[in-house]
Amino acid sequence: MTDAYVVGVDMIKFGRFPDRTVPQIGAQAALMALDDCGLTIHDIQALYSGNLGQASGMVGQRILQEIGQTGIPVVNVANACATGATAFREAWTGVKAGLYDCVLAVGVEQMGKGLLGGAGGAKGISKEGLFGSGTMPAVFAEAGMEHTRKYGTTFEQFAKVSVKNHLHSTLNPKAMYQIETPLETVMNAEMISYPNTKLMCSVNVDGSAAAVICSEKKAKELGLMNRAVKIRASVMASDPWQERDLVMPDVNACTRRAAKEAYEMASLDAKDIDLVELHDCFATAEILHYENLGLCADGEAGRMIDEGEVALGGRIPVNVSGGLLSKGHPLGATGIANIYEVATHLRGEAGARQVQDARIGMTHVIGLGSACAIHILEKT
């Protein structure tokens, strides 16, 4: 099978755009990604569109109505927080399998403010409040407290994740928020679900990101290899079967499975990774995923954040973009926005937040239910 490369990639500055439609927001990123590699929609053989809020709304086709209807195949996907990454992976699959030489993946979301998750849609007596909570803040608060029970992780260590990511965001002009938040400010913010305060929760925003993926042959033919980023691994996983815990869902097993498969596909190990954009939907989640991705041994995540190993300039910088906590989390766009961030570093184009000598990067997203996607990218 042919190797596949990201040849064009970009994202809009995340924010809130109530006066624009989802297709308009998505089309902006699509055109930016095409401009990034000097191509047009006429060069694209298929479009893969990720959107959750209008999953049945033919968003991909409506994006083409904005930028040019060329009659190409369109695939629309919805896969919780992994929606954008799923669209990217389907695009990669099309190129990898030899069906296409040049495709476009777009992720877009328009979100209101407020709480995600809960017990909606279930039949019978709701378990909400009887066996813990299905709301996202509560689920990841419970997971964080379980980590505390096992390893002694402290409230302060969880809060340091938010401090780090908000500091990183001050270097990212495309982040929703670019505000430094001292430790005391984070810890004294409104408590949402202990140990996650408001500043330790991801931001619901509007946003879009897009990537152009080409085969090696096509990238060379178009003269695009000088900035191309190789996709070393593209993996998705769902939850393995296990005894059900009615109190707390397992937020770890899916990521661990995907990480193992991604390292095997890339013929790499965690020690080979130079930077990571992972799914910090809550500060507690980032701590868990250090271990789930093999960045450290189980029980060592608190030490990693204390010693600055995951900060810009540390051993393995994590969420240099500001992460979901500060850059924002438009569900359908997040997966491709992570690809943009890592690719920008591998190209050496990240400016003040550049991870020095970055050659290999990883992106990770997970939507509970569960769908986890991991990509490993390499500088050419």
End-to-end CA distance of the chain: give it in Å, rounded. 18
Neighbours of 61 (CB within 10 A): 14
Phi, psi of 357, deg, nearest 5: 60, 30
CB 295 within 8 A of CB 303: no
Give long-range contacts, CB 8 A cutoff, 24+ apart: 242-245.
none
Strands 371-379 and 275-277 come out as: unpaired
Q: What is the pLDDT of residue 134?
A: 73
- CA 148 – CA 159 distance, rounded (Å): 13
Single-letter amino acid code for the residue at 56: S
CB 12 within 8 A of CB 174: yes
CB 151 within 8 A of CB 166: no
CB 189 within 8 A of CB 94: no
Residues 6 or more apart from 212 whose CB is under 8 A from it?
6, 7, 8, 9, 33, 34, 36, 37, 39, 44, 102, 103, 104
Q: Which of 177, 179, 197, 180 is nearest to 188 (CA)?
A: 197
Q: What is the pLDDT of residue 125?
A: 57
- Over residues 60-78, the pLDDT tens digits come to 999 999 999 999 999 999 9
Longest alpha-carbon distance in the chain: 60
- To the question of domain 4-114+203-379 being in CATH 3.40.47.10, the answer is yes
Q: What is the pLDDT of residue 308?
A: 98
Q: What is the pLDDT of residue 368?
A: 87
- Using CA atoms of 113, 118, 122, 125 in order, give the dihedral in degrees to the nearest 10: -130
How many distinct helices (H) and strands (E) make up the chain?
A: 12, 11
Q: What is the pLDDT of residue 129?
A: 60
Q: Token pair 């050419």 is at which residue? A: 380
- CA 85 – CA 357 distance, rounded (Å): 25
- CA 147 – CA 38 distance, rounded (Å): 47
Token digits of residue 163: 């401090």
- CA 109 – CA 85 distance, rounded (Å): 13
Q: What is the pLDDT of residue 337?
A: 98
- CA 27 – CA 304 distance, rounded (Å): 39
Q: What is the pLDDT of residue 119?
A: 41
Neighbours of 306 (CB within 10 A): 12
List of the chain residues with pLDDT < 70: 114-132, 245-247
Tell me the torsion sign for CA atoms 326, 327, 331, 335: negative
- With 0-12 / 13-18 / 19 or more C-beta atoms within 10 angstroms meaning exposed / middle / buried, residue 184 is exposed
- With 0-12 / 13-18 / 19 or more C-beta atoms within 10 angstroms meaning exposed / middle / buried, residue 44 is buried
Token digits of residue 242: 């296990």
Q: What is the pLDDT of residue 114?
A: 66
> Annotated active-site positions, please?
81, 329
- CA 159 – CA 163 distance, rounded (Å): 7
Strands 47-50 and 74-77 come out as: parallel
The three-state secondary structure class of 229 is: strand
- Over residues 329-339, the pLDDT tens digits come to 999 999 999 99
